[in-house]
Chain A
Amino acid sequence: MFRHKSEVAAVVLGLSCIGTASADAAPNPPTGQIETRYDARGPATAVHMTSSAACDRKGNVCEIWYPSDIARGRPRAVLLWANGTSDVPVGKEVYEYLLSHFASWGFVVIATRDGKTGYGDTVLDSLAYLRSQASVPGSPLFRRINFGRVGVGGHSQGATGAVNAMLKSKGAIRTSIAFQLPAQLWCSPADLCLLTPDLKAATSGSIFYVGGTLDALISPDWQLGNNPLNSLTAYYNATPPGLMKAKGLVKLANHNDILGKPDCGSAALGVTLTCTFGVYGYRGYPTAWLAWQLQGSAEAGAAFRSRTGEFFSANAWHSQLSNVP
């Protein structure tokens, strides 16, 4: 009985913390060398285009960002993107700030406009579309994409879609970043979620769980017990140890800070509930994770070494975990 009460108190405390957050708190500046490097825009300019035809089974078009220097050097790695929940097609402006940031670091980013991405199927469709475009002579992407280096990221429902896409890809997707992954409590219908048996059965890939310390309502960090998976820590613990994994929360960030451009005021949000100060803090380590996993940067990977990597001493981050040796 006491345990039950303490669990309730812990959750309520988390909600109360949301109420005491200061909206004008300082943004999260980078502190470590790796975080500082990848927090800044990359060496290329991000170029955007919209697909000329549907790119998924629902008839959505795709938004594509690629680096301006794509014609030079080695073929580029891919980042698939899964949007958060929306009743209408998700326009390019919604996630453009962060996705163009990734493209500036050399990634070809593709995002279907689907607003119900949880199953991950439309995300896999976007990968198939990208493959087709890379075989079209005259396309800027023609033979310029390395499909052996594919990752996926997603926000909210899209975080479930990102991991589900990786799990369904049979090894084609090497890594995923789950931003603000909702607790299973919020999964209606349940199979729209990242399901515990699916996660525990994973045999390949890697996952970086990214949350915000003020997102205690949708994507809390902590719970008592581990089933169902109602916290990022529970998801992290349920991820098989054979997969490389990391977890961290951006300080004071809430559910929709990732939409910032870079601040909340220009985040195209209709309400004030879930954005504290914007995308600050989300740029550095997520980009570093992709640079490590998809571009082979050992230096970026070293930042995630368990307990000793710079990720663990970053001022902007909280509750970090990793199993990176």
Chain B
Amino acid sequence: MIAHPPRAGRVASALVAALLAVLAWWWLRPHHGDEEGSASHIVQLPAAEQSPTVRAVPRSATPTTADIAPPLPDPRIAATFQDPGATFRNVRSADARNQVVCGEVRLSSASFYRRFVWVAEVQMLATDDGSAQFAGIAKLCDGSAKLRP
């Protein structure tokens, strides 16, 4: 004859097992923070790493003549960076009516290009900081978001 453990003991054993399972899952689970990446992690990456749109851009650190052409449409863009050594590529008007210009800039202190968006009417410029806010604004550059119909 087998002696059954007391009922309270069986409940306690089940609770311990469940607790161990939860702890094991917690220990082995994927780390969401690593998946998402913090803003500081993203900023360290070349801009070309940050979106499928930009991945098509050649990743050479040294711009070629083709990279730089065409010339900047608005000298105020270069002036905004306050960096005479800055180089530009893929500069284009994304929305002529609303004077939105998109492109990429490499500051003289950097080894990579970053995307930028310039709104001429308000003379404001945003550079890619890896944030969701910039990603939203950059939708203006590929036409997936528009300011006016």
Chain A residues engaging chain B, CB cutoff 8 angstroms: 1, 3-4, 7-8, 10-12, 14-16, 18-20, 84-87, 156-157, 182-183, 185-186, 188-189, 217-218, 220, 223-224, 228, 230, 255-256, 270-274
Number of contact residues on B: which range applies? 20 to 34
- Contact: B145 with A12, CB < 8 Å? yes
When distances are taken between beta carbons in the complex, the residues of chain B under 8 Å from A11 are 132-133, 135-137, 139
- Contact: A15 with B139, CB < 8 Å? yes
When distances are taken between beta carbons in the complex, the residues of chain A under 8 Å from B131 are 185, 228, 230
- Contact: A15 with B82, CB < 8 Å? no
Q: Helix, strand, loop or mixed for chain A's interface?
A: loop
- Contact: B126 with A19, CB < 8 Å? no
- Contact: B121 with A188, CB < 8 Å? no
Shortest CB–CB separation between residue A19 and chain B, in angstroms? 5
Shortest CB–CB separation between residue A156 and chain B, in angstroms? 6
- Contact: B147 with A217, CB < 8 Å? yes
Shortest CB–CB separation between residue A6 and chain B, in angstroms? 8
When distances are taken between beta carbons in the complex, the residues of chain B under 8 Å from A20 are 149
Interface residues in B72-121 by Cβ distance below 8 A to A read 76, 80-82, 97-99, 119, 121
- Contact: B36 with A188, CB < 8 Å? no
Bound complex: CA of A157 vs CA of B149, how far in Å? 27
Q: Given contacts A4-B36, A15-B147, A188-B125, are A217 and B133 in contact (CB under 8 A)? A: no
- Contact: B121 with A15, CB < 8 Å? no
Shortest CB–CB separation between residue B28 and chain A, in angstroms? 19
Shortest CB–CB separation between residue A168 and chain B, in angstroms? 21
- Contact: A19 with B124, CB < 8 Å? no
Bound complex: CA of A153 vs CA of B135, how far in Å? 31
Bound complex: CA of A217 vs CA of B99, how far in Å? 13
Chain B, Cβ-Cβ closest to A273:
B98
Q: Given contacts A15-B139, A182-B124, A274-B121, are A224 and B146 in contact (CB under 8 A)? A: no
Cross-interface CB contact of A16 among B76, B97, B119, B145, cutoff 8 Å:
B145
- Contact: A255 with B146, CB < 8 Å? no
B148 on interface, CB distance cutoff 8 Å: yes
Bound complex: CA of A86 vs CA of B125, how far in Å? 14
- Contact: A7 with B132, CB < 8 Å? yes
Q: Given contacts A19-B146, A19-B148, A185-B129, are A14 and B124 in contact (CB under 8 A)? A: no
Interface residues in B11-63 by Cβ distance below 8 A to A read 32, 35-36
Bound complex: CA of A183 vs CA of B140, how far in Å? 17
Bound complex: CA of A20 vs CA of B146, how far in Å? 10
